[in-house]
Amino acid sequence: MAKKAGLDLVEVAPTSVPPVCRLLDYGKFKYEQQKKEQQARKSQKVQLQREIRLRPKIGIHDFNAKANIAKKLLADGAKVKVTLMFRGREITHPELGRAVLQRMSEALSDVATQERQPLMEGRRMDIIMTPNPVKPKTKTEVKTAVKTEAKTEVKAVTKEKEPQNAKA
Question: Would you give per-residue pLDDT tens digits along the chain (168 residues)?
Answer: 767 777 888 888 888 888 888 888 888 888 988 999 888 888 777 778 899 999 999 999 999 999 999 999 998 888 999 999 999 999 999 999 999 999 999 999 999 999 888 989 999 999 999 998 876 556 676 667 666 766 666 565 556 656 655 554
Q: Count the residues in the chain.
A: 168
CA pair distance 105, 55, nearest whole angstrom? 15
With vertex at residue 15, the alpha carbon angle to CA 3 and CA 24, rounded to the nearest 5 degrees, is 25
Q: How far is Cα 152 from Cα 137, in angstroms, rounded to an integer?
A: 21
Q: Global pTM?
A: 0.56
Q: Does domain 49-131 have CATH number 3.30.420.10?
A: no
Q: Residue 10 has what pLDDT? A: 82
Residue 127's pLDDT is what?
94
| Annotated domain spans of the chain | 49-131
Distance CA 75, CA 56 (A): 26
What was the pLDDT predicted at 151?
65
